[in-house]
């Protein structure tokens, strides 16, 4: 028996549409991911696939990098024949969830038919959740209303406590997921290492995939989607996200191209545009409506996720008051909400550095560079003039781990480092105000706990296998 084959034009490209027929069952090779968890809501991302597993033995280019060519020549290799390809299929999908592990008295979404125009993806927005509660869920797929459930995946996630209630919290921060620099065939070592830590959530800070700098270069919507499929069909990644939700941030490589901004010209990425690349990003992660946002996890912690691509001035513009990474509206929101927070600890997570320092030369993309020094210094000096206490920044983007303390403001920043040792590199500066520097891969964890009524926050750099290679601890005020 075979599936029925159709062709559909989506975003200017022809896509193969696979429809289940004659007993061939809908599958979920990419599992599901939960995102944007609040005290009373969450987003469940999932996708119907043709096969139960990714293509493990498909075509792979001989080299990681491909030359930049202004003229686009379509590849003769079909996407479905590539290493890691996970073709989608028309089918129906739903989510059942409950506070009971056996799913008794479970609530259920409606069955939804997925479509080729959205890459066979459905993002379920579920609400009316209870704070500080563990939810168990089962995602089910079938071909149609006339067929039985053919694929299921189970997992769980926890919701944050209300701001008046104490809650111990632990989360991870990652970046630099180069597919060509994987350190294990089934996914990065960091995923099983993080899984052992029972994290409450994960913040991927961007560069989750590399559309522009890894073969095949994503010069079409179909190829851009392929990059996401091969990364999130890896078994270690699927397994991790069954029980750990995330708050995804976007950066340059996973939205379009290196150091990009909305009006940038890059003929070597044509015909894929910045707008199309960013739209694919929003499709492939459970982010929700806003690209910048904040979430409270109980009395002890509030976290901010910022966005630095949509509102960015061209990197090549002269620096000054009108040049920005965040945009006026986001910056005003950021300052206002940070000042309003009464959390014991406040943590800002940025796709790119705010403190740095960066490499010696050639960089003009972040607040640690001269190219954006006006806005960078404006924000750093604001943290000092506002007398922010127990406020920290974490960042991705850099191919090394560090802890820095900016001399004039005292602002302390932690770089999580890339996802593998193979992806580490660069020639970073190390001034005397950077107590820790390690040019290796791994991840960062942040833990907020309380003992004897005194809250504590701990930042830990881990190697790719989870061993702690650096730790910084700060303590809050004893509760009265």
Distance CA 368, CA 353 (A): 6
Check pLDDT > 60 for residue 11: no
Supply the pLDDT for residue 24.
64
- The structure's pTM equals 0.94
Distance CA 120, CA 234 (A): 18
Check pLDDT > 70 for residue 148: yes
Q: Which residue has the higher pLDDT, 19 or 440?
A: 440
Supply the pLDDT for residue 433.
97
pLDDT tens sequence across 296-317: 999 999 999 999 999 999 999 9
Check pLDDT > 50 for residue 293: yes
Q: Supply the mean pLDDT for the chain.
A: 94
Check pLDDT > 60 for residue 255: yes
pLDDT tens sequence across 336-392: 999 999 999 999 999 999 999 998 777 899 999 999 999 999 999 999 999 999 999
Supply the pLDDT for residue 124.
98
Check pLDDT > 50 for residue 330: yes
Supply the pLDDT for residue 25.
85
Check pLDDT > 90 for residue 99: yes
Q: Which residues contact 432 (CB under 8 A, 6 or more apart)?
A: none
Q: Which residues pair with 293 in a beta bridge?
A: 305
Supply the pLDDT for residue 478.
73
Classify the C-alpha dihedral 332-398-248-9 as positive or negative: positive
- Band of pLDDT at residue 294, cut at 50, 70 and 90: very high
Structure tokens at 61: 């280019």
- Band of pLDDT at residue 479, cut at 50, 70 and 90: low
Task: Annotate the chain with three-state secondary structure.
Answer: CCCEEEEEEECCEEEEEEECCCCCCCECCCCEEEECCCCCCEEEEEECECCCCCCCCCECCCCCCCCCCCCCCCCCCCHHHECCCCCECECEEEEEEECCCCCCCCEECCCEECCHHHCCEEEEEECCCCCCCEEEEEEEEECCCCCCCCEEEEEEEECCCCCCCCCCEEEEEEECCCHHHCCCCCCCCHHHHHHCCCCCEEEECCCCCCCCCCCCCCCCHHHHHHHHHHHHCCHHHHHHHCCCCECCCCCCCCCCCCCCCCCCCCHHHCCCCHHHHHHHHHHHCCCCCCCCEEEEECCCEEEEECCCCCCCCCCCCCCCCCCCCCCHHHHHHHHHHHHHCCCCEEEEEECCCCCCCCECCCCCCCCCCHHHHHHHHHHHHHHHHCCCCCEEEEECCCCCEEEEECCCCCCEEEEECECCHHHCCCCECCCCCCCEEECCCCEEEEEEEEECCEEEEEEEEECCCCCEEEEEEEECCCCC
Distance CA 233, CA 87 (A): 11
pLDDT tens sequence across 395-438: 999 999 999 999 999 999 999 999 999 999 998 989 999 999 99
Interhelix angle for 373-385 vs 328-340, to 10°? 20
- Band of pLDDT at residue 18, cut at 50, 70 and 90: very low
Kindly list the structural domains of the chain, giving each domain's residue range(s) and its CATH number in brackets, ordered by start.
4-51+86-158 (2.60.40.380), 169-475 (3.60.21.70)
Q: Mean pLDDT over residues 21-49, rounded?
A: 91
Supply the pLDDT for residue 427.
87
pLDDT tens sequence across 166-219: 999 999 999 999 999 999 999 999 999 999 999 999 999 999 999 999 999 999
Supply the pLDDT for residue 21.
44
Share of the chain above pLDDT 90, in %: 90
Supply the pLDDT for residue 477.
81
pLDDT tens sequence across 105-123: 999 999 999 999 999 999 9
């Amino acid at each position: 028996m075979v599936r029925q084959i159709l062709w559909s034009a989506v975003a200017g490209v022809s896509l193969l549409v696979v429809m289940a027929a004659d007993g061939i069952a809908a599958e979920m090779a990419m599992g599901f991911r939960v995102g944007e968890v609040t005290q009373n809501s969450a987003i469940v991302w999932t996708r119907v696939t043709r096969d139960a597993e990714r293509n493990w033995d498909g075509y792979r280019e001989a080299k990681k990098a491909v030359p930049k060519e202004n003229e686009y020549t379509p590849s003769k290799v079909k996407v479905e024949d590539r290493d890691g390809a996970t073709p989608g299929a028309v089918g129906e999908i739903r989510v059942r969830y409950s506070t009971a592990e056996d799913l008794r008295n479970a609530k259920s979404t409606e069955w939804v038919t997925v479509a080729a125009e959205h890459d066979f993806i459905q993002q379920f927005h579920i609400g009316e959740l209870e704070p500080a509660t563990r939810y168990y869920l089962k995602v089910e797929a079938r071909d149609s209303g006339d067929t039985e459930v053919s694929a299921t995946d189970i997992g769980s996630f926890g919701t944050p406590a209300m701001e008046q209630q104490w809650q111990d919290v632990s989360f991870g921060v990652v970046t630099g997921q180069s597919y060509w620099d994987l350190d294990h065939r089934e996914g990065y070592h960091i995923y099983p290492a993080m899984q052992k830590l029972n994290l409450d959530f994960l913040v991927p800070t961007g560069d989750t995939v590399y559309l522009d700098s890894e073969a095949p270069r994503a010069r079409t919507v179909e190829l851009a989607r392929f990059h996401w499929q091969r990364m999130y069909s890896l078994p270690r990644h699927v397994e991790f996200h069954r029980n750990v939700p995330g708050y995804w941030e976007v950066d340059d490589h996973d939205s379009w191209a290196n150091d990009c901004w909305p009006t940038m010209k890059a003929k070597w990425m044509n015909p894929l545009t910045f707008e199309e690349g960013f739209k694919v990003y929003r499709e492939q992660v459970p982010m929700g409506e806003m690209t910048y946002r904040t979430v409270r996890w109980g009395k002890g912690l509030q976290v901010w996720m910022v966005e630095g691509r949509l509102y960015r001035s061209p990197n090549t513009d002269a620096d000054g008051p009108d040049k920005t990474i965040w945009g006026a509206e986001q910056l005003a929101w950021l300052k206002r909400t940070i000042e309003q927070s009464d959390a014991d600890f406040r943590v800002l997570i940025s796709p790119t550095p705010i403190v740095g320092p960066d490499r010696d030369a050639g960089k003009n993309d972040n607040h640690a560079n001269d190219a954006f020094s006006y806005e960078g210094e404006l924000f750093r000096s604001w943290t000092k003039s506002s007398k922010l206490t127990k406020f920290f920044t974490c960042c991705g983007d850099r191919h090394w781990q560090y802890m820095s303390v900016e001399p004039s403001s005292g602002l302390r920043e932690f770089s999580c480092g890339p996802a593998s040792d193979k992806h580490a590199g660069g020639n970073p500066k190390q001034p005397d105000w950077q107590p820790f520097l390690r040019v290796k891969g791994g991840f960062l964890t942040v833990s907020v706990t309380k003992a004897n009524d005194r809250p504590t926050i701990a930042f830990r750099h881990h190697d790719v296998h989870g061993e702690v290679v650096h730790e910084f601890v700060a303590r809050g005020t004893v509760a009265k």
